[in-house]
Amino acid sequence: MSISGLSYSPWSPIFWLLASVVVMIMAYFFRRRGQKKYKKDTEQTKIFLCGEEVPEAKQRHIRAHNVYWGFFETMKEYYDANIKAHTGIINDYIIWFLVLIAISAIILFIVGIV
Amino acid sequence: MTQGIPFNVPFLAVAALIGIAFYIIVSQRNLIKLVMGLSILASGVNLFLITLGYREGGVAPIYTHAPAGIMVLPVPQALTLTSIVIAVACLALMLSMVVHIYRHTGSTDSEKSRIMKG
Amino acid sequence: MMSKIVRTMASFLILFVLIYGLYIIMHGHSTPGGGFQGGAVVASGVALLIVAFGSHSIHRSLLERRLSILISIGLLIFIGLAFGGMAKTFFYNFLVGSPIFGHIPPSGPNPGEMSSGGVIPIMDIGVGLNVAGGLSAILLVMALATTVMEVEE
Amino acid sequence: MVVASLAFVEFLVIILARDIYLNGLHIYTLGASSPDLTIPENYIVPVRIILEVDSMSIFMAIISATVSLAAAIYSLSFMKGETGQNRFYTLLLLLVAGMFGMVLTGDLFNLFVFLEIASIAGAALTAFRTKFADTAEGGLKYIVISTVAALMVLFAIGIFYAQYNLINIGALAHVMQYTMLDKIALVLLAIAFMMKLASVPLHMWCPDTYSVAPASITIMLVVASYACLYALFRTCFTLYGVSPDMVTVGWIVITLGMLTMFVGVTMAVFQTDIKRLMAYHCISQTGYMLLGIGVGLAVLNRPEALNTYGIAAMDGGIFHIINNALYKGLLFLTAGALFYRTGTRDLNRMGGLAHKMKWTTIFYIIGALSISGIPPFNGFASKLLIYESVYRFNPILAIVAMITSILTLASFTKAFYSAFMGAELPEYQEVKEVPKSMIAGMAILAAGIIFFSLFPGLVVERLAHPATEALINQGAYISGIMGGGG
Amino acid sequence: MRKIAIAVSLSIFIGFLIATAFLIHPFGYPPSEMDDYIIENTQSETGANNAVTAVIFDYRGFDTLGEATILFTAVTGVVMLFRAKKKREK
């Protein structure tokens, strides 16, 4: 059984925990080697954009609607059909219920005969 | 099977009632009519339960002043009583929600009053 | 608010409706009826009053908060009796054979007795309170809510 | 007081669970002169209502108790300032009672009654914030769906009663002959429960309802839908058992599970409302459970296949239930925390909240990593069990399950980026961390996740595997009622 | 499209309901193991003459508890839903 496999395989969470601890320690060492001169709230922390004016926070943030734009554009037909099916009308929910009952009853009926 | 009512007419009535109820539920866009359809559906199922317990020529299962003879089954009557009260409770809650929907959107049409989709 | 004839008749009929409802609740263990049916009859009396006098004048004397206390009392009676049989099992009918309501009627058809049925008559009363209070509260609140809306528009 | 009573319930459940794992199935006959007297003396069938608790039931009861405890603690400050709080907590406790009744009972009609309690309480709670326009719509959808499903369940109960004059699950399974009528009843029961647990294509009420309910209620509704999942398992495994059509039923469940996974997750990626996004994820995670259990159902008649991968698949599916209840609950609570502070559920209007709400961010990261199946977390453990076993059954199914997992990660990255990352937006300058009790509610679930992540083998062996055994072992359930040989 | 779906699935569904009506036991002659026990032993076990009440409150008392709870839930829910309105009134 693969239950016991969970505790000994490379997928074991203890192993992964150790690995992440090692990675954290390494990250800490790299961080310690960084610049000491860095100070908060000075010119150093400002965003540098090739000398251009930095836009406001509102414009800088990419809104959720635009994330994965390409994915939705590629799958446009699938999404159009799907959103059309999600009408949000209660009556349609019951229609789906009836359709599913009809389909599965017929499947069981046919299997029972054959 | 031979004497009495032929062809299980009460069960056919149950089928007709449930069919009508589902037709109302899926085709009527008015939310009040939808709730009425659900009420008819509940009545159909209750009728089904109560017809299950009938015995030919039976009397009510109460011994007080009972005439001699067989009695009909008591359990379906109890189940029907329970399910009637449940249907009433659902009906009250549904109607109050419809009232709220009408207050907020000014319509009881299930297509016009919907806000969420997709 | 209906006409004067309706109001007079309603205030006269409500007595009979309530008495009939109480009769059905009390005799649930020996004749057709019981807590649910009797409670529904009592609630229909309240519905009659609401139709005749309008929900606002009823609301002055019948607050739904008091009705919810009624419901809770009924439910507590019911659950308390169910816990009463806890020495053997939950819902055990512990009063059968005892002095109160404990009389066991002769088997077969008989004229029926008040003092039989164990916990069943008391449970009937509890459930009767619950149903009467519950259905009246639902009717009253919904009547109030809908009339308020009509006034606003 | 609510929290105290729920903590007490949790305590009782854990005691009962320990007892059940030591001594096996428990029976309690209500109203008989002794709790063990399931069948009256000198008689052949059970008459009274019987509570029957086995490992599967207590597994679901543990989930319900834990999640409702977290929800109640969370509600303490989440609901502060709303009117009608005492009624809110009354309904919350009634919802808990409905779920417990559903999972602990051994009687079909009683199951129906408690299903209705849970539905009515859930619908009323969904519409709790009456000042918003969409809450009543969500509540109406929930209660209409529940009523139709429950009435179909009642119709199926009527069919059983007409044939065998019994409504006890164990006794029915004992005399089940699998006639034509039983097939119709099976379809009605299975599809009705599928509607309640939001499987595609009956899922459309789910995002509407889950997104408008208060966050602490949403997680209770999730668990209530898992109680319906439990009812589906009871129907398929215990009631119908090894009847010849179970392969077909298993394939129907697998097909619906695949559809549920894929449609749920693809729709989730598209959403911009954070709670709708999570509700669609809830649908897609239900697909994993259906897949795991469906594989078990399809190979139920073939012992060698059942032993090699069927049991593992079912373990995975059942383990996924408790994992999902925990991390989905945590994610919904973080969404509620965002709503509490920003007043919106729209991801388009959020941003940069990680600067202000550190604890919420940490909990969100834990939940999101866990739901996406990133290795050290518990979501990965149950998904791995499902992948491994389903791959042996049919590779295509496992591949679709993995694609679903990837898309899950994608959509949570999207939600994380747009809600927490980015610059501090000017309109959220005033936003603070949420109050302590909300953090405590989230911390309970997060602690559960971390515990399950560290010891998945232990949890599977102690919790999920006995539940699977209890489901498969139909004879034990029947002999609990009918006594002796079964 | 929707109308075709309604017509087809509804007719199949009603077809199965009618099949149920024909397959079920003939009206008036149900099987009755459980109910015979209740009818015979109502008076001696519960002391009530009314078998229906005995079933409701004794044999299946837990259902009735659930049912009373449902009514309580519905009342609580309805009163809760209409609470804000009344507050504004005062």
Span D190-206, pLDDT tens digits: 999 999 888 888 888 88
Nearest CB to A64; choose among D183, D347, D424: D347
Q: Look at B45 and D151 and tell me if their CB atoms are within 8 Å.
A: yes
Nearest CB to C31; choose among B64, B85, B99: B64
Nearest CB to D165; choose among E31, E67, E76: E31
Facing residues of D51 across strands?
Answer: D28, D105
In chain B, the number of structural domains is 1
Nearest CB to B68; choose among C109, C141, C146: C109
ipTM of predicted assembly, 2 dp: 0.89
Q: Look at C142 and B95 and tell me if their CB atoms are within 8 Å.
A: yes
pLDDT recorded at residue A26: 93
E34, E36, E67: best mutation site toward chain D, by most D Cβ within 10 Å?
E34
Q: Look at B28 and A91 and tell me if their CB atoms are within 8 Å.
A: yes
Are B36 and B24 in contact, with CB atoms under 8 Å apart? yes
Per residue in A11-61, pLDDT (tens digit) is 677 777 888 899 999 999 988 887 777 777 666 667 777 767 777 766 667
CA distances from C55 to B88, C49, C67, D353, D451 (A): 20, 8, 15, 50, 56
pLDDT recorded at residue E87: 46
CA distances from D232 to D141, D166, D181 (A): 21, 19, 18
Nearest CB to D184; choose among E20, E72, E84: E20
How many angstroms separate the CA of residue B43 from the nearest CA in chain D? 10
The residue-averaged pLDDT of D225-229 equals: 91
How far apart, in whole angstroms, are the C-alpha atoms of residue D344 and residue E90? 30
pLDDT recorded at residue B6: 60
pLDDT recorded at residue C42: 92
The residue-averaged pLDDT of C128-148 equals: 85
Q: Which of A43-47, A74-78, D21-25, D52-56 has the lowest mean pLDDT?
A: A43-47
Q: Look at E69 and C75 and tell me if their CB atoms are within 8 Å.
A: yes
Q: Which of D8-22, D254-268, E14-28 has the lowest mean pLDDT?
A: D8-22
The residue-averaged pLDDT of D143-168 equals: 91
Of D226, D225, D214, the C-alpha closest to D139 is D214
How many angstroms separate the CA of residue A75 from the nearest CA in chain D? 10
Whole-number average pLDDT of chain D: 86
pLDDT recorded at residue A23: 93
B14 within a domain of the structure (yes/no) = yes
B109 phi and psi, to 5 degrees? -85, 130
Q: Look at D34 and C90 and tell me if their CB atoms are within 8 Å.
A: no
Q: Indicate if the pLDDT at residue C66 is higher than 90.
A: no
CA distances from D57 to B80, C9, D470 (A): 27, 56, 9
CATH of residue B91's domain is: 1.10.287.3510
Q: Look at B18 and E17 and tell me if their CB atoms are within 8 Å.
A: yes
Whether the CB of C103 is below 8 Å from some CB of chain B: the reply is no
Whether the CB of D481 is below 8 Å from some CB of chain B: the reply is no
**Chain E residues with CB within 8 Å of chain B CB:** 6, 10, 13-14, 17-18, 20-22, 24, 26-30, 32, 34-35, 38-39, 42-43, 49-52, 54-56, 59-60, 63-64, 66-67, 70-71, 73-74, 77-78, 81-82
How far apart, in whole angstroms, are the C-alpha atoms of residue D292 and residue D397? 10
Are D367 and D330 in contact, with CB atoms under 8 Å apart? yes
C24, C113, C116, C138: best mutation site toward chain B, by most B Cβ within 10 Å?
C138
The separation between CA C38 and the C-alpha centre of its own chain, rounded to angstroms, equals: 6
Burial D233-250 (b: 16+ CB within 10 A, else e): bbbbbbbbbebebbebbb
Q: Indicate if the pLDDT at residue D237 is higher than 60.
A: yes
**Residue ranges of the domains in chain D?**
2-482
B1 within a domain of the structure (yes/no) = no
Chains in contact with C via at least 3 Cβ–Cβ pairs below 8 Å: B, D, E
In chain E, the number of structural domains is 1
How many angstroms separate the CA of residue B66 from the nearest CA in chain C? 5
- DSSP of B6-72: GGGHHHHHHHHHHHHHHHHHHH--BHHHHHHHHHHHHHHHHHHHHHHT--TT-B-SB-BTPPSS-B-
What residue of A is the nearest CA neighbor of D183?
A108
Provide the pLDDT confidence category of residue D486 given band limits of 50, 70 and 90: very low
pLDDT recorded at residue C152: 44
Of D117, D114, D4, the C-alpha closest to D49 is D114
Chains B and E touching, counted as 3 or more CB pairs less than 8 Å apart: yes
**Crossing angle for the helix pair D246-270 and D274-298, nearest 10 degrees?**
160
For residue B30, how many other CB atoms are within 10 A of its CB?
A: 15
Whether the CB of A22 is below 8 Å from some CB of chain D: the reply is no
Q: Indicate if the pLDDT at residue C148 is higher than 70.
A: no
pLDDT recorded at residue B7: 65
B45 against D37, higher pLDDT? B45
How far apart, in whole angstroms, are the C-alpha atoms of residue A50 and residue A43? 15
Q: Indicate if the pLDDT at residue C34 is higher than 70.
A: yes
How far apart, in whole angstroms, are the C-alpha atoms of residue D237 and residue D253? 13
Q: Indicate if the pLDDT at residue C84 is higher than 50.
A: yes
Q: Indicate if the pLDDT at residue D17 is higher than 50.
A: yes
Nearest CB to B76; choose among D161, D212, D276: D161
Whole-number average pLDDT of chain A: 78
pLDDT recorded at residue E88: 47
Q: Look at C142 and B62 and tell me if their CB atoms are within 8 Å.
A: no
- pLDDT tens for chain B, 118 residues long, are 445 556 678 888 999 999 999 999 988 889 999 999 999 999 999 999 988 888 888 888 888 777 777 888 888 998 999 999 999 999 999 998 898 888 888 888 888 878 777 6
Burial C59-72 (b: 16+ CB within 10 A, else e): beebebeebbebbe
B111 within a domain of the structure (yes/no) = no
Nearest CB to B110; choose among A83, A86, A89: A89
How many angstroms separate the CA of residue D378 from the nearest CA in chain B? 31
Provide the pLDDT confidence category of residue C98 given band limits of 50, 70 and 90: confident
How far apart, in whole angstroms, are the C-alpha atoms of residue D207 and residue C16? 51
B115 within a domain of the structure (yes/no) = no
Whether the CB of B59 is below 8 Å from some CB of chain E: the reply is no
Q: What percent of chain D has pLDDT over 70?
A: 99
Q: Look at D30 and C89 and tell me if their CB atoms are within 8 Å.
A: yes
B32, B35, B62: best mutation site toward chain C, by most C Cβ within 10 Å?
B62
Chain D positions touching C93 (Cβ under 8 A) are 31
pLDDT recorded at residue C149: 53
Per residue in C7-30, pLDDT (tens digit) is 898 888 999 999 999 999 888 888
Boundaries of domain holding B99 = 7-60+68-105
- Residue A70's Cβ-side half-sphere holds a number of Cα atoms within 13 Å equal to 0
Q: What percent of chain D has pLDDT over 90?
A: 14
Chains in contact with A via at least 3 Cβ–Cβ pairs below 8 Å: B, D, E
What residue of D is the nearest CA neighbor of B115?
D134
The residue-averaged pLDDT of D65-78 equals: 88
Boundaries of domain holding E75 = 2-89
H-assigned helices in C33-109:
35-53, 55-61, 64-84
Q: What is the DSSP letter of D27?
A: E
